[in-house]
Every structure is written in C-alpha cells, then in structure tokens.
C-alpha cells in the first residue's frame, strides 16, 4: 500500500468515530529475568500480563485485544484471560522470530473495521488509564501518537572510554507504549520495513520512515517496562500504591 493510497483512505474516511484494537506484544524471551518468563510472574496478586490486559479491558475506547505470545504459552494466556474476565481478547496469535514479525502477526489479525491500532508491551503492567485515553484521542486527531517522558539524567557521549560530549537533553524524550496509529498507516509502515529489511527499534520508527508525523502525549515514569527482577519490585509497589484490584467482572 503506497503513501498516496493511505492518504486517500484517510480522506475518504471522514470523521467516523474510531474503534481501537489493541495488540499486546507478549512473545519475548525474558532473557534478563533470570530464566523466568516475566509475563507470568505474580505482582500485586496477579500475573504481570493480567495487569496489562485488565488496563485495556477496562478502557471504554478499546474494542478488541489481540495477544501475541509464544505458542507454548497459549494455554497460560487463555487461562489468564478467562480468570480475569478479559472478554475483549478475541485472538491469541503466535509470535514470530523477531519483534517486528510478532507485531505484524498481531496487527494483521485485528478486525477489518478497526480504525485505530494500539501496540503495547505486555511487560508494561502499570499503564495508567489516563495515558491510554489521551493517546487514543491524539491518534484519532493526528493519526499517530505515543506517550513520552523527558529524559532527566545527564547524558554523555563516550569514545574509547573517555567522555567527548555532553548531550543536550532539551529535545530528548523516552517513548513508551501504547503507540497508537491509524490502522492503514501502521499496516503500510510495518509492511515497508519488513519488505526493505529495515531494522526498527519501535513501531513509531516504522511510521516515521513512511513519512507520517507522530504526536507525543504525556507519559509517566511509572509506565515502566519490566526488564530485570528489580523492576518487578517497583511495579508491585506502583500497583499496590494505586490500590489496583486485579480481578474484573466477566
């Protein structure tokens, strides 16, 4: 799909209210979590993945959830969805060899009438409802949006073990998820980078390469991505402090 056909479909779409499908990227190997799959470890009374799914299940702007997982984890994911009332989880898709492959499997499995597609890390269980709302609203208006927080630490360029430059932080931001896009735009962007074998670090980068601007919404320092065992302790504290109840009514 060319950029011109994407623009035409955006124009033809008019002002129809968008429906947001969510792709949860949950097919990683958790290599830095001491051999455990972090998505199924318990924090604040429920598996990490359960907290992530519940946040989108409760959001009224979300119409469906697609979980992308390793095939050997399908049963675990299904059990979590059943136990915690994740009725919006319509499909569990098999992950690919790379994150790009996994995300594409999820993106192309959403309902054909989806107008917006959100892509969120399964290992970000502390996502705040307000961030989801704001990013959906921004994507509805601008066709592409992602939450971000400004970079606080002092950054240095180092060469051969020696500091050579202090980096100006004024325009530096850490991009988080969910990253939310018009459905046609993200499908075209992912197809392009896959076809041209371009290495992208996130889904925003794919859309950037297609030539579409991405609107930045306010993220949160609590919207952490779990990487190490220390992150589990922090996430548990964040959710406990919020008084988040893991179970939802089915």
pLDDT score of 74: 96
**CB count, 10 Å around CB of 5?**
11
pLDDT score of 14: 46
pTM for the full model?
0.89
Q: What's the pLDDT tens digit per position in 191-211?
A: 999 999 999 999 999 999 999
Up-side HSE of residue 175: CA atoms within 13 Å toward CB? 17
Instruction: Provide the pLDDT confidence category of residue 243 given band limits of 50, 70 and 90.
Output: confident
23 φ, ψ to 5°?
A: -105, 120
pLDDT score of 183: 97
pLDDT score of 249: 47
**Arithmetic mean of pLDDT, 198-226:** 97
Please give the CATH topology (third level) of the domain spanning 3-11+19-145+175-242. Answer: Spore Coat Polysaccharide Biosynthesis Protein SpsA; Chain A (3.90.550)
Percent of the chain having pLDDT more than 70? 87
pLDDT score of 1: 53
Q: What's the pLDDT tens digit per position in 8-49?
A: 555 555 445 458 999 999 998 765 555 578 999 999 999 999
Q: What's the pLDDT tens digit per position in 100-152?
A: 999 999 999 999 999 999 999 999 999 999 999 999 999 999 999 999 999 99
């Amino acid at each position: 799909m060319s950029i011109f056909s994407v623009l035409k479909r955006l124009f033809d779409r008019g002002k129809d209210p968008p429906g947001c499908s969510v792709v949860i990227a949950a097919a990683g190997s958790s290599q830095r979590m001491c051999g455990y799959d972090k998505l199924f470890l318990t924090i604040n009374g429920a598996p990490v993945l359960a907290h992530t799914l519940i946040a989108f299940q409760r959001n009224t702007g979300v119409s469906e959830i697609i979980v992308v997982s390793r095939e050997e984890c399908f049963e675990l994911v299904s059990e979590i969805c059943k136990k915690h009332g994740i009725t919006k989880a319509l499909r569990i898709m098999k992950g690919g060899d790379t994150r790009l492959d996994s995300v594409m499997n999820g993106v192309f499995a959403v309902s054909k009438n989806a107008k917006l597609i959100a892509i969120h890390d399964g290992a970000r269980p502390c996502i705040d409802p307000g961030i989801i709302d704001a990013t959906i609203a921004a994507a509805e208006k601008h066709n592409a949006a992602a939450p971000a927080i400004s970079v606080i630490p002092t950054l240095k360029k180092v060469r051969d073990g020696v500091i050579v430059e202090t980096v100006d932080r004024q325009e530096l931001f850490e991009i988080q998820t969910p990253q939310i896009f018009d459905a046609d735009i993200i499908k075209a962007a992912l197809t392009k980078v896959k076809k041209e074998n371009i290495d992208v670090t996130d889904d925003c980068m794919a859309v950037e390469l297609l030539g579409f601007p991405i609107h930045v919404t306010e993220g949160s320092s609590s919207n952490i991505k779990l990487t190490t065992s220390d992150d589990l302790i922090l996430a548990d504290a964040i959710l406990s402090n919020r008084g988040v109840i893991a179970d939802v009514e089915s």
